[in-house]
Amino acid sequence: MSDNKHVIILRDVWFRYPRSGWVLKGVNLYVRKGESILVIGGTGSGKSTMARVLNGSALWIYNGELKGDVIVDGFKIREDSNPWVLARKIHVVGQNPYMYFINPLLREDLEFYAYSLYEDDEIAERALWKAVESVSARELLDKYFFRAIRGPSP
């Protein structure tokens, strides 16, 4: 497979967390631009670990050991890589999305992600409003996260 045709490449990837056995063993994955994939598997099969490898947190937050090649949009993930470069390229929302909210107000959280994703503030602002308008969420922006998703108290 030609590497210049793929935006995500996992080639013979092995990963383990500190003081544990290998969670990923020889994983190969090639994803083309615009292609959607679905990763399924049982509990403990490595789905979340693969997502963490792709976004770099497996190395930079969990301090695991990585073997093989992980390339995202031409950026090769290594222990000495700059995590902010990768943060602009790939985001993962797991099965408990509430864990990914940092700020209490939805507006603040969306602004945090938009401004960390785009270097240009004007582009970040346009992207934020485009996303908000596309899901008709303007009225939720100044609400606290848990109140917005659960609705008003009885």
Per-residue b/e over 63-82, b at no fewer than 16 CB within 10 Å?
ebebebebbbeebebeeeee
Residues 69-128: tens digit of each pLDDT: 999 988 888 876 776 777 677 767 666 665 556 557 888 878 887 887 777 889 989 988
Question: Do 10 and 54 reside in the same domain of the chain?
Answer: yes
Question: Do 14 and 67 reside in the same domain of the chain?
Answer: yes
Question: Do 13 and 80 reside in the same domain of the chain?
Answer: yes
Question: Do 14 and 62 reside in the same domain of the chain?
Answer: yes
How many domains does the chain divide into? 2
Q: What percent of the chain has pLDDT over 70?
A: 79
Question: Do 83 and 121 reside in the same domain of the chain?
Answer: no
Identify the domain boundary among 69, 92, 115: 92
**Structure confidence at residue 46 (pLDDT):** 93
Question: Do 113 and 133 reside in the same domain of the chain?
Answer: yes
**Structure confidence at residue 99 (pLDDT):** 59
Q: Which CATH number belongs to the domain containing residue 8 in this structure?
A: 3.40.50.300
- Output the pTM of the full model: 0.62
Structural domain span for residue 18 = 3-92
